[in-house]
Structure 1
Amino acid sequence: MTDELGFSDFAIPYARGASYPVRSGNVLRPLIDGEPAFRRVCEAIEQAKISVWATVTFMWAACQMPDGRGSPLDVLSRAAERGLDVRIIFWRPDPETEYLETNAFWGAPEHVERLKECSSSLRIRWDRAQPGYCQHQKCWLIDAGTETETTFLGGINLNPHSVVAPGHRGGKNQNHDVYIELAGPSAVDVHHNFVQRWNEASERHLADGRWGAGSESDLPFPAKVPERKGNAIVQIQRTIHRGRYSNGHAAPQDAAYSIEDGERSNLEQYCAAIGAARRSIYIENQAIDVPEIIRCLRHALQRGVEIAVLMPAEGKLHELFADLAAFDNFTLAGIAGLGDDGKRNPVWIHAKLMLIDGEWGTVGSCNLHRYSLFGNSELNAAFWDRETARALLAELLHEHLDRDISGLNDRAALQLFGEIARHNRRLFERGESKWQGLAFSLPPLS
C-alpha cells in the first residue's frame, strides 16, 4: 500500500503501531502563532454549514479570539445559534492534576454560570484522563462527515498568552505555538478520534458531566473517507493510555484498528524519523526529557545530521543535553521578543513540531516528555510532503531569524540558524537588544 502512495520517494518510515492508516491526497496549511491560527479557525467556524466539534484542554475566562470576536464560547455559541451542531469535549482534571484546574474549563459552578449566559444549544461532555495524566489533544473539526470536512490540530491553548501575533513584540509572557489545517482523506481519522472520545467521555453519565440538549446522545462513527484535496501523505498518530477505550469500531478503509493495549505511535514515529534522518532535524518543543529521544538525536549527530532545537529559554534541560552540545552540528536555542521598553522578553516555546530533511514533518499536541509519550491523550499529524515541510521551515525561520531562507536547502538553513542564534547570544550577554530576529543560543544546561 505504501508504494502505491508514493512512499518510495521518502526515507522516513511511517508508524506501524498507529490506529490510523497512512492516507494520500491531503492538503496542509501551517498556521504559526495563536492570533493567525485562531483567526483562521474562527473564519472556518463562521463558514461552517453543518457542525463544529472541538477538543479543549485549557481555556481561560480571559481568552479573547482575534479581531473582536469575543471569547471562544461566544464564537461557538454564535455557531450554535445558527443551528449548527456544536460539541466540545473539555478535560476535567483528577485529584492528581487538580493544580491545573485554574487553567481548565472543567465544569466548576462558575463555568456552568458562564454557559447559562451563553447558549443552551452547546453540547458538552467532560472527560478525565488516566490518573496523573491529561486529555491533551487540541483539535477543531468543521463539517464532519461532509466533503468540505476540515480540521485543525496542534498545541495552542485558549489563553491570552497564546493568542498572540507572530514576531512576539510588546508584552511579556507570550507563547510561540503552531497549528496545522488539514483537509482530505486523513480528516476522517480526526473525526473518528473525536467520536471515540465523545462516546466514551469518562463523565458522560454524571449529572455534572455533560451540558446541553443532545449531549446525552452518542455519535455514529464515520463511514466515508473524504475525497482527495491535494498531494500530501498524512498519518494521524496518537498517544492513548492502555485501557483507555473499549470501543473497537474500525476507522473507515484500511485501518487495522485495535488499541486495547493503548497506542504510542507518536513515540514510534519520533524515534523512527530521527533514526532515518540524513541531512537535517529541526525541532520546536517545550520539553525533551525522554532518554530514548535524546539518544536518537545523539546518533543522528554522529551521522553528521545538522540539528537545531528550539526550546523555552527558561525551561529545565535534561542532563543528557550536555553530550549533544559537544557536537558542532547541534544548536540549542530559545527566542525573545522585543518589548515596548526596548528590552528582550523570553518567549515560551509551546509548539510541538519536528521537520526532517525538508520532506517530512509532524505537528500536534505531543511534547517530547514522558507524560505526552507514555500517558496523556495526544494527537499529531505526521506528513510526507516536501512543499509543506519546506514552507513551514521557511516561515518559522523567517520569524525567528528575520531572514528569507527559501533559497537555501534544509541543511544550510539550520546552519544559518545556528550562526545567527550564536551571534544574538553574544549580543544578549553584552546587554544589547538590537538582534537579528528572535533566536539566541542557549547553554546546554541552563
Structure 2
Amino acid sequence: MRRFFAKEREPLAGLRWGSLKSNNLHYCIDGVLPLGSCHHQKIAVIDDEVGYCGGMDIALARWDFREHHPVNKERKDPKGLLDPHHVEPFAPYHDLMMVTAGNSARALAELFRDRWNLACDDKIFPLSSEKAQGLPTAWPDSDPPDFENVDIAIARTLPPVKRQPRREEIFPAYLAEISKAEKFIYIENQFLVQIDIARALNKRLREKPELRVLAISCDLPKGIMERKSMWAPRLKFREIIESGGVADRVALVHPVSRENGKEDPVRIHSKLMIIDDKFLHLGSANINNRSMGFDTECDQILIGQDQKSRKKISDVRTDLIREHSGREALEIGRLVDSFAPINDFLEEVPTSRQHFKRINDEAFRKESFVQFAKMIADPRRPLISADITIPLSRKHFGKHFSKPWVWLFLALLTLAAVSGIAFANNGPDWLSLKNITGWLSALDNSAYTIPIILGLFVISSLIMFPITILIAATSAALGPLAGFLLSITGTLLSACIGYGIGRKLGFSKIIDVFGKKTETLRNQLNKRGTSSVAVIRMLPILPFGLMNMLFGINAIPFRSYLAGTFLGILPGTITLAFLGSSLFKVISSPSPQNIIFLFIGVAVWILLLILSHRLESKLHRKAL
C-alpha cells in the first residue's frame, strides 16, 4: 500500500517511535478504527493555547518555500532513509495549515484528547483552564495573526467505533457553504472526485449566472491505485460540474513552476475552499468519499461576519491565486469583483515563474477496474465494521457462512488478489509480475530452483510482501502443479519461521509495532487451536507474515498451528496456482474468455473453502 498512496510514510513507525524510551514523549498507534480506515486528521496543539490544523503531514517530501522553484537543492530529505530524496530533490509541493489561539485552540486540544483516550490505554487530561491574556507565547513570531475576534467552527468526520457515534460534519458543511455562493468559489484540493459535491457546485452555478469556480488540484497521480480510484473518477466530477451550459464559468487547473528552461507541476496537498468573502474552509478533508465518511478528518471554518474579517478572507484568496499564477493582487481583485470570465485567470503572465494549466484527464478515461479500485480505495462506509468479531467457534463459523454477505466478502478477497497482481504489474519495473515470472522461469531445470523459490517465500513473508503475487508468479513460470507444490511448501515454511520468530520476540514487541488490533486478535486466538488458525487464514485480516508471528506469540501448539495453516491456505493456494495466470490475463487483456476464467476462479475458491471447512469440522469432531 505504500506504493499505492504514499511511499513517504514511515514503515514500522511504532517500532521506531517506541524505541526512543523518552519519559516526555508518548506515542500511540490507533487500533480502533475500521479496517482500511485512515487517521487523516492533522492536528498539533501547544499547551492548549495554540492549535494547528490543516493538510500537512509530518512526513518526507512535504517541505517547500511558497515560491515553488522547479529546482531547489534545500528541498530534500535527510540521509539514511530507505526511500530518500536526498540524492534527487523532490518536486515543488504546496500545502496549507491554519494556526489559531483562544477557544479554537482549546477545542482542538479537546478533540485530540478524545481521539487519544479512545485509542490508547494511558489517558490524558486538560491542562490548566486559565486563559492566556493576549497572544500566547507559543504563537510563531514569523506569522502575525491575520484575523482577530472571529468565529471559527470545527467540522469533523469520524467513523463509528466503540462508544463514539458516526460524525459526518464536513460533508454537510461543504454543501451548506456552496449553497451560499454568489460570485466566486476558490478550491484547492488534492482530490476532486466526490460526486455529491460536484452536483452541489453545478446546481449553484445554474442558480447564479455570474458565479465562477476556480478549482486547483494535482496534475498526475502517484501509483496505480491513485490513478484508478482518484484520477479516472475526476473525469466524471468535471463532467458533472460543467453540465447544463456552465462549463465556461468553471476551471479545473493545476499550477506549474517554470524557470531557466525547466517546468515542474506543483504538487497540491492543501484542502481549502473559500466562498466569496463569507467562508474560509481549511482542514484535512479531501473532496473524495472516504474523507466524508470513512476516515477521521478535522476542518476549521472561519466565518466572515464583518467588513474587516470579510476583507481578510478575500485577501487570503487573492494571495493564494497570486502565489500560483504570478498575477498582481490588485489585478486579481479586479478580476473577481468585475465578474471577469474564468479564462482571464488562466492567461499567463510573461514575467511570472508560476502559471495555471487546465487539467486534462483524458488519458485516464479508459482505465480498467475503476469501480473496483474506488470501492477499495475510496469507500464512503467501512467495508468491515471496526467492531466485527472473528467467528472462531464451529457453531458461529457455520452460522456466519450461511449469510450471503460472507460469500460476497470472499469474492472480494479473490478480486483483492487480482488487485495485488495488478500492483505487481504496475508498480516498480523490477517488482512487476512479468519480471518476477521471468526470473523464476530462468531458474527452471536449475539445481537451485527449489531452495531459491522457498527462500523467496520466506523473505516475502518477513517483509510483508503479498504472497499471492509470488504464488501466481511461481505457477506462471513453472506450471500449475509444480507451482502449487512449491507454493504450498514455501508458504508453510515461511509460516513455521514466522511462528518461531513470534515465540522469540514476545507479545510486547509486536503490539508496539502494529497496535492494539493485535491484542484483540490474540485474545480471540486463545479460544481454539486448529479451527481458529484455519478460519483466520481463510479470512485474512492482517499480513501473512504478521499473522505467523502472532500465532507464535500466542503459543498455540505447533501441530495445531501447522494443521490450521494448511487448511486455511489450501483454497487460495490451489486457486492461484491453477488459475493465477488466467487471473493475470484479465488485468493485461480483459477479454470475455479471460473474464469467464476469473469467475471460474471465484467459484473454485468458494468451493474449496467449503470443502476445507467441512474437513476442518470433521477433524474437530474427531478431536472431541
- TM category, shorter: 0.5 to 0.7
Residue 122 and residue 374 in structure 1: after superposition, are their counterparts in 2 closer, same or farther (change >3 A)? same
Structure 1 residue 222: deviation in Å? 8.0
* Alignment equivalent of 1:393, drawn from 303, 306, 317: 317
Seen in structure 2, the aligned counterparts of structure 1 residues 299 and 411 have a Cα distance that, compared at 3 Å, is farther
1:124 aligns with 2:27: yes
Tell me the distance in 2 between the aligned counterparts of 1:383 and 1:409: 24
Aligned to 1:136: 40
Question: How many Å separate the matches in 1 of 2:171 and 2:295?
Answer: 12
| Secondary structure in structure 1 of the residue aligned to 2:27 | strand
Three-state SS of the structure 2 residue aligned to 1:140 is: strand
Is this contact kept in 2: 1:188–1:226, CA < 8 A? Answer: no
Which of the residues 54, 57, 65 maps onto 1:157? 57
- Seen in structure 2, the aligned counterparts of structure 1 residues 176 and 100 have a Cα distance that, compared at 3 Å, is closer
Q: Residue 332 of structure 1 is aligned with which of 252, 265, 270?
A: 252
Between the aligned partners of 2:269 and 2:342, the Cα distance in structure 1 is: 19
Deviation string 1:358-416 (CA, Å, 9 cap, x unpaired) is 12111110101011111111011101131431221121012112122246268348847
Alignment partner, residue 319 of structure 1: 236
Following superposition, the deviation at residue 223 of structure 1 comes to: 5.8
TM-score normalized with structure 2 length: 0.45
Residue of structure 1 equivalent to 2:225: none
Aligned to 1:419: 344
The answer to whether the 8 Å contact 1:322/1:445 transfers is: no
Match of residue 13, structure 2, among 104, 107, 110: 107
1:345-364 residue pairs with structure 2 within 5 A?
345-364=264-283
Q: Structure 1 residues 122, 265: CA separation in 2 closer, same or farther (over 3 Å shift)?
A: same
Question: 1:241 and 1:133 mapped to 2: Cα distance?
Answer: 8
1:382 aligned to 2:301? Answer: yes
- The number of residues matched between the two structures is 310
In structure 1, give the amino acid aligned to 2:274.
L
Task: Answer yes or no: is the 8 Å Cα contact 1:164–1:175 preserved in 2.
Answer: yes
Q: Which residue of 1 aligns with 2:355?
A: 438
Distance 1:198 1:361, change over 3 A: same
Counterparts in 2 of 1:9-408, with a 5 A limit?
103-104=9-10, 107-113=13-19, 115-116=20-21, 119-128=22-31, 129-144=33-48, 149-171=49-71, 172-201=90-119, 204-205=120-121, 216-220=122-126, 230-242=148-160, 244=161, 246=163, 260-302=164-206, 303-304=208-209, 305-315=211-221, 316=231, 317-325=234-242, 327-338=247-258, 342-385=261-304, 386-406=310-330, 408=333
Q: Structure 1 residues 155, 245: CA separation in 2 closer, same or farther (over 3 Å shift)?
A: farther
Query: 2:447 aligns to what?
Result: none
Normalized per residue, which structure has more strand?
1
Q: Secondary structure at the match of 2:103?
A: coil
Distance in 2 (alpha carbons) for counterparts of 1:362 and 1:241: 21
- Matches of 1:383 and 1:410, distance apart in 2: 24
Cα–Cα, structure 1 residues 97 and 124, in superposed 2: closer, same or farther, change >3 Å? farther
Q: Deviations over 1:138-160 (max 9, x none)?
A: 1111111xxxx111110011234
Note the C-alpha offset of 1:130: 1.9
Change (3 A) 1:328 1:231: same
Q: Indicate if the aligned counterparts of 2:93 and 2:267 stay in contact, CA closer than 8 A.
A: yes
Query: What per-residue deviation string (whole Å, max 9, x for no partner) do you get for residues 7-29 of structure 1?
Result: xxxxxxxxxxxxxxxxxxxxxxx
**Pair 1:241–1:224, CA change in 2 (3 A):** farther
User: SS of 2:253's equivalent?
Assistant: strand
Counterpart amino acid of 1:123?
A: H
- Structure number with the bigger relative contact order (C-alpha 8 A, sep ≥ 6) is 1
State the AA in 2 paired with 1:261: P
Q: Which runs of 5+ in 1 are unaligned?
A: 1-94, 206-215, 247-259, 428-432
Partner of residue 5, structure 1:
none
Aligned residue for 2:313, secondary structure, equals helix
d(CA) in 2 for partners of 1:218 and 1:132? 27
Aligned-residue offset at 1:306: 1.0
Query: Comparing both structures, which one devotes a greater share of its residues to helix?
Result: 2
d(CA) in 2 for partners of 1:164, 1:322 = 33
Letter in 1 for 2:113: V
Distance, in Å, in 2 between the alignment partners of 1:397 and 1:344 is 19
- Tell me how far apart the structure 1 counterparts of residues 344 and 190 of structure 2 sit (CA, whole Å): 22
Larger Rg over CA atoms: 2
What amino acid maps onto 1:319 in structure 2? K
* Aligned residue in 2 for 1:14: none
Q: Distance in 2 between matches of 1:142 and 1:285?
A: 27
**Cα RMSD (Å) of the superposition?**
3.1
Shift of 1:217: 4.2
- SS of the counterpart of 2:323? helix
The Cα shift of 1:175 comes to 2.1
- Whichever residue aligns with residue 358 of structure 2, its letter is S
Aligned twin of 1:41: none
| 1:57-82 CA distance string (max 9 Å, x none) | xxxxxxxxxxxxxxxxxxxxxxxxxx
Structure 1 letter corresponding to 2:270: A
8 Å contact 2:8–2:61 — kept in the other structure? no
Gaps of 5+ in 2: 72-89, 136-147, 222-230, 305-309, 364-624
- Which secondary structure does the structure 2 equivalent of 1:313 belong to? coil
Letter in 2 for 1:440: K
Paired with 1:299 and 1:160, the residues of 2 have a C-alpha distance of 39
Give 1:404's aligned amino acid.
E
Name the SS for the 1:103 alignment partner: coil
SS of structure 2 residue aligned to 1:198: helix
Aligned equivalents of 1:97, 1:135: Cα separation in 2: 18
Give 1:320 shift: 3.5
2-structure distance, mates of 1:100, 1:312: 15
Instruction: Name 1:254's counterpart in structure 2.
Output: none
Q: CA deviation at 1:293?
A: 0.2
